Structures are given as C-alpha cells and as structure tokens.
C-alpha cells in the first residue's frame, strides 16, 4: 500500500463520502447506506464507522433502527482506516479457506491509488466472498 494518496477533506463539502466502512472488531463490512447500514441495534455502539475518506461516523439508534451520521467533532483518520483495511487483507490471506481467486481482488484493494477506491474494491471483495459462500451452502444442501 505504499504510495497511497490520502484525500484532502474539503471544508466546503464536509458531508460523508460513500461507501461506508463498518469495523466489527477487525471484521470489515462495506455499506452504501447511512440510513440502513445493516447493523443490529444491540451492536451499533460497539463498532467503528468511517466514510470512504476516513471521516468518522457515529451511530444513532432510534427504536429498532440504526443510522449513521458524520461525527463533526472527530478529526478525519484516513491512516486509521487504511490500517484497518491492511489488517483485514492480511487476516483474509492467512485464512484456511483462502483461494487464489481472492488474491486478484485483494490486490485491487491494496493497490488502489486512492483510499476511496480501496474501500470500493474492498466492498467488491466482500460481496464476491459472500456470494461464493451462499452458493456453496446452496450446493451442499441435501435435496429431498
């Protein structure tokens, strides 16, 4: 990930930049929606959230809904987000179920020139991995 270009946070456009990263204690998820990040209400306050530029987001829980909002009091932390992505990629590469096909997608995550592009590539990797797992479960099901 050498040579990564971190975005400059533009004060005239202070809003969050999608996609958004949910850090579940090192297990990363990439989501597109601030209004429905796919987080359970009981977990919402235990996770970290970032936009694609490393700006922190904070969760708000109202009844059974979780939404994310820009944490205007927090300083952007693109290096922190990059470190989380790097640790995630390294952990995935060490897994027993790691496949060679994963390497191409993970290289896209690591070699993206901008942090946002790395987050987008991470989302593609996670989606592909989840799709493969679902397909594997469906093919293993016993038919009546």
In a domain, 93, yes or no: yes
Tokens found for residue 93: 């590469």
**Structural domain tally of the chain?**
1
The reported pLDDT for the residue numbered 94 is: 86
Instruction: Kindly report the pTM of this predicted structure.
Output: 0.81
Partnered with residue 27 across adjacent β-strands are 24
pLDDT tens per residue, range 9-47: 455 557 899 999 999 999 999 999 999 999 999 999 999
In a domain, 33, yes or no: yes
In a domain, 2, yes or no: no
The reported pLDDT for the residue numbered 54 is: 95
In a domain, 8, yes or no: no
The reported pLDDT for the residue numbered 97 is: 73
Angle of helix 78-94 versus helix 115-140 axis, rounded to 10: 30
What whole-number distance in Å separates Cα of residue 58 and Cα of residue 39? Answer: 12
What whole-number distance in Å separates Cα of residue 130 and Cα of residue 133? Answer: 5
Tokens found for residue 117: 């592009």
């Amino acid at each position: 990930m050498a040579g990564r270009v971190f975005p400059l946070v533009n004060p005239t456009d202070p809003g969050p930049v999608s996609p958004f990263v949910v850090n579940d204690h090192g297990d990363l998820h990439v989501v597109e929606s601030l209004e429905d990040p796919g987080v359970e209400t009981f977990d919402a306050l235990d996770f970290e959230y970032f936009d694609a530029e490393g700006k922190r987001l904070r969760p708000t829980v109202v009844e059974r809904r979780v939404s994310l909002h820009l944490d205007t009091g927090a300083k952007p932390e693109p290096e922190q987000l990059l470190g989380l992505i790097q640790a995630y990629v390294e952990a995935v590469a060490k897994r027993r179920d790691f496949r060679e096909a994963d390497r191409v997608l993970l290289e896209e995550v690591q070699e993206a020139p901008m942090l946002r592009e790395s987050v987008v590539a991470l989302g593609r990797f996670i989606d592909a991995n989840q799709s493969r797992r679902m397909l594997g479960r469906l093919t293993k099901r016993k038919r009546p």
